[in-house]
Amino acid sequence: MTALLWLLLSAAAWADNKEDFLAAREALQKGNLTEVAARAEALSRDPLGIYPRYWLLSRQIEQLAPEQILPFLNFYQGSWLADKLRNEWLLVLGKRGDWERFREQYRLLVDEPGTEQLCYHLQSRLAAGDKDKEVLAHARAVLWFTHKDLPALACGPLIEKLLATGIVSEDDLWARLRLAFENGAQGLARSLAPRLGQELPAKALDTAINNPATWLKKPTGSGRMRQELAILAIARLGRSNVDAAHEQLLAWQDRLGADAEPYAWRRLATVAAFRHDPRAEEWYRKSSKQAWTDYSAEWRIRLALRLSDWETVLSTLKLLSDEKQKERPWQYWKARALEATGAPAGEPNRIYALLSVDDDYYGLLARDRLGPTVGPASAIYKVTDEDWRRIEANAGLKRALLLNAMNLRTEAVREWNWALRGADDRLLLAAAEAAREAAWYDRAIYAAERTKALHNYELRYMAPYRELTREYAGQVGLDEAWVYGLMRQESRFVSSARSGVGAGGLMQLMPATARWVAGKVGLRYEPAMVNDAGVNVRLGTYYLKHVLDNLSSQPVLATAGYNAGPNRARDWQMADKPLEAALYIESIPYLETRDYVKKVMTNAVHYAMTFGHPRQSLTARIGTIPPRNPVAVEGP
């Protein structure tokens, strides 16, 4: 029995229960817990019966005794809702100071604890008699160095102990103030100032952040706080005018302390590197006495890549934290830098071989560097009857499929993702097949792309809506594999998908873009049209072709332009010479766009193979970025 057949049979038997479930959900929204309880009883043997029981407990958790909560947690241990309820109960236990029961329940958490739960956990360790110094040293390491406000009730007592015992030093206070400044966390910055014996008027801070040129003309404050505000204002000014920021730093540098001056140059260098300004390397050298963060080291590497300064790439890679150095991007660029600086071939090839095991962006690039030594991809795994039986026996997947059939997407996705935590390849592929049969394409891809040894690329790179996509891509002369690579990244084939900024449909068109393109193709624009698969693909492929034609027919530029805007993609080109596309991609300033381009172009390689197109390496597909066209791109 396939999962879809199971779902259809279950749906027929579940018609009455569905009514009870929806009635319980409506009663919850109205605050009618008596009705929720009645419906919970009716659903006691149903896969979704866990929901009304959870709703009842969650709404009353502060008033309930342990014996009213524990049966649910024990019976449903390991489920998403049990872990969610346990997290909620931990907050109640922490507020009460019921440390013995807190420790007992904390050990049973499946998911990573939130900040509040972690703070209460550390408080519980102190209450249990653990060595204060060790607990507080751990608290400093995991809690202090952040620009985010910490929950006062859960974390406040720990923070006060850290300050009272001197485990958080004055230097630590200034370090956190700098994090607050760097991230625009004005409330945190103002709360830290009195602990440093400093004044930090809200107006002065707001001006330094939002109108830095004004603050620099008439600086306020005194002592070190004045210096820190000056560095903040110079860095903020550099976001819009690097030249003006540089002039201001030259004017201020003699007034900055021995620690503050190199820090100021580091801030300006990183702002400039983000903007691809080659002067940033000189300014990085002026900041050699300043400790390196991963963020600033990464931007120095990206600038050095654009400048083909491979010696600086190698030396700066060593400044990254151990965890960062192990990440795939920096392993790949380490190998490239070793090649470029004349290291024996065995050194970079060992790195390429390790990277090439996976089929992601860096795996494909590494295979291209190794050449024909890499063998063919593994055979496609086919789901067996035994695999289907595991799907049928998995309560979380059952709930997810039923919730999805009812269009309760939020709960369905959370159940699905939770049920596949730690799943082996066979269960992942069976789940992917079940989701595909239910036309739940994004969760099918979610499952299929997590396999480690057994793979099915038809599931990982599925191609729904192919007839209409092939038609509209063909009409404007676009590579079908590339269009699918982009569509997969945009929406995972959820035709009703909508982003946080208002983009909608399979190709995630912004309203202004959809309106502009509709006018070009002779359609009367209606906001709802972006959720029609055919119209969305027609408009999306037309716009993608427009961007491609205006960005030198270079697909990497067009991909970046589709995501971030064509004129931004154009601005990131070199002004007077070509650039290897992999270097262009790695130095895209925005993380979202950088990751997007990597995935779209990787997807395109796999779709081309799935469609039986002539084989093309990723390196050949991304090609070379030409010098910047001085003419801006028209359109939305």
* Active site residue ranges: 490
Length of the chain: 636
Q: Tell which residue, 117, 83, 587, has the closest CA to residue 313.
A: 587
Residue 128 in tokens: 């249990």
Q: Tell which residue, 260, 275, 296, 288, has the closest CA to residue 252.
A: 260
Residue 423 CB coordination number (10 Å): 18
Long-range contacts at 613-619 (CB < 8 A, ≥ 24 apart): 613/481, 617/364, 617/367, 617/368, 618/361, 618/364, 618/365, 618/368, 619/365, 619/368, 619/582
Residue 237 in tokens: 């000014």
CA distance 510 to 503: 4
Residue 34 CB coordination number (10 Å): 9
Q: Tell which residue, 26, 16, 13, 5, has the closest CA to residue 408.
A: 26
Which contiguous run of DSSP H or E holds residue 301? helix 294-306
CA distance 67 to 152: 29
Q: What type of residue sits at position 532?
A: D
Q: What type of residue sits at position 388?
A: W
Contact 396, 110 (CB under 8 A): no
**Per-residue CA distances from 193 to 75, 177, 188, 325 (Å):** 50, 8, 9, 35
Tokens 């369905």 sit on residue? 412
Residue 196 CB coordination number (10 Å): 16
Radius of gyration of the CA atoms of the chain, in A: 28
Residue 44 in tokens: 């006691």
Q: Tell which residue, 627, 556, 554, 562, has the closest CA to residue 598.
A: 556
Q: Quick check: helix, strand or coil at residue 379?
A: coil
Q: Tell which residue, 542, 546, 528, 548, has the closest CA to residue 600.
A: 548
